[in-house]
Each structure stands twice: as C-alpha cells, then as structure tokens.
Structure 1
C-alpha cells in the first residue's frame, strides 16, 4: 500500500518539477517559486520529491506560480486519481469521523455479502455504541481530528441496520487478541464481548474466531473488508485504501479464505469469547 501511494506522489512531483522548469518567463529555481508563493523552500522540495502529499490548494497555487494556471486541471485530476484509491486520513478526517462513516454506510448499503477480517478490534458492524465511542475518541486523539464522536457513533450504529435486512450475510473473522485488547475500559469490553456471544447463531452473521493457539498458514496481518466481489477496503496509519480491480479483490478473498481455515465457529467460538470475558474478572 505504501509503495503505490509513494509512487503516485513521486509521479506527481516529477510533473510539478517539469512545470517549474518550463515556466513561460524562464525556468524557476525552487527558491524563486517558494518566494512567489510565500512557502518555505522545504515545501517545494518535499512536493517535488514525493515527500509530502499536495492539497488541491497547493496545486492551484503551484500552477499559478509557474505561470501556467491552465495546468491546474491536469494536476488536480492526477491527485484525485490516486486519492480515490488511497484516501489519506488527514483529508478524510478534516471534517471529523462522521463523513467517513457516511461513505462506509453508502458502500455497505450497496452490498449483499461482506467478508471482514480484523486482527486488533471488533468489526464495526458488530460493535456496541460504547465500544465504538472509545474507538473514535482514540483515533481523534491520534490524528488530531474533529471530535464529532456522538455523530460518528450514530452513523456506525445506523449501518448495523444492514444486519437485520433480508438477503444480507456478514462473514466476520476476528483474531482472539482483539477480544482482549483494552482499547476501552474493561466494563465496556465486557459489554462488547456479551454482544458478540449473542450474535452467534444469527442467520445474517457468520462469526469466526481465530484462537491465539491456532496454527496459522499466513500471518495475521492488517484487517480488511471485502464488499461483494467489487471492492476491498483496508487501512494503514496514514491512509485508507480502496481497491476495486479484480486481481486485488481475488487476492484479498484468497487471504480471507486462508485465514478462515484457522477459525472456530459456533460453540467453539462461544467458548473463546467466554474465556476472554472471564479474563476481565468482572461480574
């Protein structure tokens, strides 16, 4: 993921450098352009070398600064091209977590079968409101984003209506480690575990747990979601990646099926959840 993102930034940077060197009034040095735009010289260097992701405003200023305002449309199209697949958290969270949840709600609403793998947290479609609230607060602190926690929680809870509509099927795989992770207070985690236990046997939910003791054919790497056979959504600390090409979807489905071989279901999954619940030493 980082490689694709970096290559896209570097390609855009090469084009920015070309425009600077071909300015109608004569080639501009990085210092010249920085002075024109009122930017630190380091920003010119970072953008041209793919060390920083440009904003739409940066690209508009650059095109005007090099005397080629007509180039803005091309530059902005390049940016939107890779940002449609690689969605930086900085941009996505500029207005808070609620808009991100709304985007997810639209895609989930279009889906009939969803396959999810989470190695560190309980999947959003199965979260309690209290658990979700603590997740949003943690990420808001990390990213320094707007704290629209209540609105984000409501949007996530609304998405769960999908589970109660006919013709839908949620195939969830969770690593046992996620059942012990105290990303929230113990009492909140206990409530979350109770909800998971109650979902086992629901006709629209297939919940598999991979025990810590299970033999694994591949590492339990980053979490991801497959929506029907058309879209994969996965994330890293800097961005969320949306992939809709057939090869990528097939690869992630193969990973999901491989992980599934290590999972337990039904009564066995219930036992793993209960073990995590007892470890909290709560009533």
Structure 2
C-alpha cells in the first residue's frame, strides 16, 4: 500500500506537529535505515543546519512560521542516537557534504558534528562517493522504519510505502547503496575533505 498527504495539509499548523510525529516514528523504530543523497540526515543535523532547512520549508510552502519550535523538536528526535536502544544504518551521498545549506559557517559546524558522531554505537554511517559504481539506477532518498514502512519526502507531498514486496525492494536498493559506500576511515576521509573545503571557502 502507498499513501501520500500533501505537505501543505500535513504542515497546516506549522512544522512542530510533524516533527513531533517523526519523533514517534524514530522512537518506535529500533533499527532504521536512511539513504540521503543530497542533504544531511535530519537526525544528524546541527541546530543551525536544521534552522535553515525548516526556514526554507516554511517559505517555499507558505505554511505557518514556527521554525524555532520545529527545530527544537528535530533536536529532541536526536536523543535516539544516545539512548542505547536504537540503531540506524545511514548512507549519505557525497553531494550531501557539499550542498550549501546556510553557507560555510553552518556547513563547517555540520561536518564537525558528523565527524564527532560517526563512531556512535547507535550509528553505522557510510558515504557514497560521487564516483562510486552502484548496481542500481540512482534513486531519490528514502527512510526505512523497521519492517513496516518506507518514507519519501517529495516536493509537494510525503509518501509512505507499507506493502511488504515493495519494502523488500527498498531493502534490496539500500543494500546496493551500502555495498558501494565507504565506511570507517574512508568515510571520515571524505567528510574531512568536505570540512577542509568549507573551512577554506
């Protein structure tokens, strides 16, 4: 089954309520996966980075402006990285390290945050090099919440997929990205290269 709700409907009261809903998704998901090709995974975002993202959402969609409240909820979500009860496999596209969200200062802080948290027991973080050969046609980013749902954030709507056969294909796609991604010291090298870029910019 596939369901979608337009963002302007889901965000009709602003960003806080949907962020609160997402906290529930993460708290209920002991093992999640995320493929995020062009931006930083929300649960690793700094407050400054998240503020820029949610400000863009509010201005683009014309929804009520409650950015500080939405950012506070996004920061609250990140407790799942530190409570010892959850684990997340996350693959960032190398482009995510260079997509300019808020300028060099924000991006430097974001790269430093990733380097600080990459070794968390709750996190397996890979970086998919821009030149990596992947055995699958490029796909938009998606999150997998346990065995129950895959979630996409499109321009106009959020899409949830719950059909078991479709979820199996999403897990297969994630495995293809994972097999091509860099981990450990190789991933840290790519992130450090991005940090140097934003530090020199």
Settle same-fold status: TM greater than 0.5: yes
2:52 to 102, 110, 134: 134
CA radius of gyration, larger in? 1
Give runs of aligned pairs for residues 10-29 of structure 1, distance below 5 A.
Answer: none
Residues in 1 aligned to 2:200 and 2:113: alpha-carbon distance in whole angstroms: 15
Residues in 2 aligned to 1:200 and 1:89: alpha-carbon distance in whole angstroms: 31
TM-score, normalization: structure 1? Answer: 0.68
| Superposed CA RMSD | 1.5
Residues in 2 aligned to 1:268 and 1:247: alpha-carbon distance in whole angstroms: 33
> Please, which runs of 5 or more residues in structure 1 have no aligned partner?
5-81
Q: Quote the offset at 1:268 in angstroms.
A: 0.4
Give runs of aligned pairs for residues 121-200 of structure 1, distance below 5 A.
Answer: 121-200=39-118
Residues in 2 aligned to 1:217 and 1:279: alpha-carbon distance in whole angstroms: 29
2:120 to 187, 191, 202: 202
Q: Which has the higher strand share?
A: 2
1:276 to 191, 194, 198: 194
TM-score, normalization: structure 2? Answer: 0.95
Q: Which has the higher helix share?
A: 1
> Please, which runs of 5 or more residues in structure 2 have no aligned partner?
none
Aligned 8 A contact 1:119 1:220 in 2: no
Residues in 2 aligned to 1:167 and 1:89: alpha-carbon distance in whole angstroms: 30
Figure out how many residues of one structure are paired with residues of the other and give that number.
Answer: 201
What's 1:11 paired with?
none
Of structures 1 and 2, the one with the larger relative CO (CA 8 A, separation 6+) is 2
Moved over 3 A (4+): none
Residues in 2 aligned to 1:87 and 1:103: alpha-carbon distance in whole angstroms: 14
What's 2:38 paired with?
120
